[in-house]
Amino acid sequence: MINKYPSLKGIYYSNPDCYEEELSNRLNNFSTRFSKLKIHPFNVKAKRRIKEKTYEIFYVPTAEIDLLKEQIFYNSKEISKQMTNLPSVANDQLFFNTLIFELQSTNDIEGIRSSKKEIGEAVDNVINKSLQEDKRFEGLVKQYLKLNNGRFNSINKVEEFREIWNELVGDEEKDEMPDGDLFRRAPEEIIDGDKTIHEGDENEKEIINDLQSLLEEMNGHYLPSIEKCFIAHYFYEYIHPFYDGNGRTGRFIACSYLARKLDILTAVSLSSTIAENKDYYYKPFMEMSNVYNHGDATFFITRMMNILLKGQQNILRRINEGLQLLKKAENIIEELNLPAQESEILFLLFQEYIFGSYAPKIPDEGLAKIIGITRYKLNKSLDNLKEQLLIETIKQNPMVHVLSKELRDKVAQLQ
């Protein structure tokens, strides 16, 4: 059994006589890792940073962190293997569905109302290059879709943080545009109810200096990748470089980094898992800035790794449940005793339905390309399937077909 790592703040309040000794032990431990990132603790009662105190963020590589990291990398390999084994349509639909949940969640965390249907339409528009003027969330979708194509945001200059903000949320936050050369000029407080819980960097000069330090940490090689990612995530939110959009840009940057080290689905499920565990996520944020925590990120890293692990477990469960349903769908198709081409069309539509409930539907033109037949042959098969009430038309331009309600109900009964 692994001994739980107590927070320094917890030790200060539960056993104050041991606090200084424990702090010294952690700061001088041979295995302790320092980030080179420095913070001022926050005084909640005074509603201000304690500028007289400066702490370097550090963490202790505990046995729990080691085991969590091992499980995360193992799960990531398993997810990659399962994705490789999925049929192509199921693979794509699973990614799009995960992305839609992720984008709705990153909005929800910030109190921005959005529906899965609305985000699904934005994904469809971006994929089919039918972008709409002033259409919400298309900038957000474009940036996340780049990750699936292996196009990661490489951040080497402070100006690139502003570029990410522009591309990701600039269209949504026209009323909250930064008033400095790149970032906000005025102080910014984070308020929970009627209580100020955090204060970002005081001015643009501080923001730029801290973001430069963050760049050096992100691009340095003195910390392990996952731990570095989560420390960077905390520090970005600590800086709070914009008036709004900090949470969404911060989670996107973390997601982009994780996508380089792990599988894409693990990366693109960070916000949705955070949304399901908000209190679990925010508690270590608050603890990090406590004066008695002294910059110890061990608790924060452990919590973030647990969140990542929960997201992976959800993904593996969804894949497993989807594969079981797909196997049963194959039995349904076999019992229908259809011609091979019509069976193939139904199998594609079952994949779409099982793995992509909110994902964009495949137009008929896309079905023809996947199967490798002409539209004439496809239309003939579609007409036969419609006559048997196995599929139905949901859109005319472009033409889109889905499983009939009867078949959808059959799948629902199998769940």
Read off the CATH number of the domain in which 24 is found.
1.10.3290.10
Burial of 72 (0-12, 13-18, 19+ CB in 10 A): buried
What pLDDT does residue 282 have? 87
Residues 268 and 389 in one domain: no
Are residue 370 and residue 285 in the same domain, yes or no?
A: no
Q: What is the rounded average pLDDT for all residues in the chain?
A: 91
What is the distance between the alpha carbons of residues 242 and 176, in angstroms, rounded to a whole number? 8
Average pLDDT over residues 7-21: 94
Q: pLDDT class for 410, splitting at 50, 70, 90?
A: confident
Q: Which residues are annotated as a binding site for ATP?
A: 244-251
Residues 275 and 395 placed together within one structural domain of the fold = no
Q: Indicate if 374 and 293 belong to the same structural domain.
A: no
Q: Which residue has the tokens 């760049």?
A: 215
Q: Residue 292: inside a domain, yes or no?
A: yes
- 13 has a pLDDT exceeding 90: yes
Binding site: residue ranges? 244-251
Specify the number of domains making up the chain: 2
Query: Which of 280, 315, 350 delimits the end of a domain?
Result: 315
Give the chain's largest Cα–Cα span: 82
73, part of any domain? yes
**219 and 160 inside one domain:** yes
Residue the block writes with tokens 């910030």: 110
> Is the peptide bond prior to 398 cis by the omega test (within 30 degrees of 0)?
yes
* 367 and 277 in a common domain: no
Cβ contact 286:238 at 8 Å: no
From the list 114, 84, 110, the residue with the least C-alpha distance to 99 is: 114
Distance CA 253, CA 230 (A): 11
- Is the pLDDT reported for residue 131 higher than 70? no
**pLDDT at position 130:** 65
In a domain, 349, yes or no: no
- Please tell me which residue, 298 or 111, carries the higher pLDDT value: 298
Weakest-pLDDT range from 106-110, 161-165, 222-226, 332-336: 106-110
Is position 321 within any domain? no
List phi, psi (to 5°) of 106: -65, -30
Q: Does a structural domain hold residue 333?
A: no
> Token pair for residue 250?
């911060």
More confident residue, 297 or 107: 297
Q: Which residues are catalytic?
A: 240
For residue 3, being part of any structural domain is answered with: no
Confidence of residue 135 (pLDDT cuts 50, 70, 90): low
Examine residue 383 and state whether it is found in any structural domain, yes or no: yes
Torsion sign over Cα 331, 332, 335, 336: negative
What CATH number corresponds to the domain at position 373? 1.10.10.10
Q: How far is the C-alpha of 285 from the C-alpha of 198, rounded, in Å?
A: 10
Q: For residues 151 and 223, state if they share a domain.
A: yes
**pLDDT band (50, 70, 90) for residue 301:** very high
pLDDT at 67: 96
Q: Are 56 and 38 in contact (CB under 8 A)?
A: yes
Regarding whether 82 and 183 lie in a shared domain, the answer is yes
Task: Kindly tell me if the per-residue pLDDT of 245 is higher than 70.
Answer: yes
pLDDT above 80 (res 154): no
Q: Is the pLDDT of residue 152 over 90?
A: no
Average pLDDT over residues 63-92: 95
Could you tell me which residue, 198 or 93, shows the higher pLDDT?
93
Q: What is the CA radius of gyration of the chain?
A: 25
Is 125 a residue whose pLDDT tops 90?
Answer: no
- Contact between residue 82 and residue 227 where contact means Cβ atoms under 8 Å apart: no
Question: End of a domain among 315, 349, 382?
Answer: 315
How far apart CA 344 and CA 329 sit, in angstroms, is 12
Residues 189 and 293 in one domain: yes
pLDDT of residue 47: 80
The answer to whether residue 241 sits within a structural domain is yes
- 167 and 111 in a single domain? The answer is yes
Measured CA angle at 359 (ends 108, 105), to 5 deg: 10
Percentage of the chain modeled with pLDDT above 70: 97
d(CA 387, CA 118): 32
- Of 288, 315, 342, the residue at which a domain comes to its end is 315
Structural domain boundaries enclosing 260: 8-315
pLDDT tens track for 367-408: 999 999 999 999 999 999 999 999 999 999 889 999 999 998
Residues 112, 223, single domain; the answer is yes
Compute the residue count for the chain: 415
39 shares its domain with 134: yes
